[in-house]
């Protein structure tokens, strides 16, 4: 899916837990997420703490979208 979006000419960042799968499916900008059932959250935390994590991940995602890349890159 990520490849098709990229192919259409839109830069795309893939936020996902299993980064090696993201590499295999051909994502170019990758941001690691928390866990499969809750990639952008963590039910063990309070809602506010969760939101902080989510902000953090999305800031990385925006940063990835603003960064030129020439090959598959994971933004840790």
Footprint of another protein (CB under 8 A): 1-18, 20-22, 24-29, 33, 35-41, 43, 47, 50-51, 54-55, 57-58, 61-62, 65-72
Q: How far is the CB of 5 from another protein (least distance, A)?
A: 5
Q: Which residue, among 38, 60, 62, 42, has the nearest Cα to 51 in the 3D structure?
A: 42
Supply the minimum distance, in Å, between the C-beta of residue 15 and another protein. 5
What is the smallest separation between the CB atom of 76 and another protein, expressed in angstroms? 14
């Amino acid at each position: 899916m990520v490849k098709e979006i990229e192919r259409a000419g839109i830069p795309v960042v893939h936020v996902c837990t299993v980064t090696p799968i993201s590499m295999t499916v051909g994502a170019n900008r990758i941001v690691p997420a928390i866990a499969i059932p809750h990639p952008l959250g963590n039910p063990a935390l309070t809602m506010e703490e969760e939101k902080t994590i989510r902000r953090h991940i999305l800031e990385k995602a925006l940063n990835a979208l603003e960064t030129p890349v020439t090959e598959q890159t994971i933004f840790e």
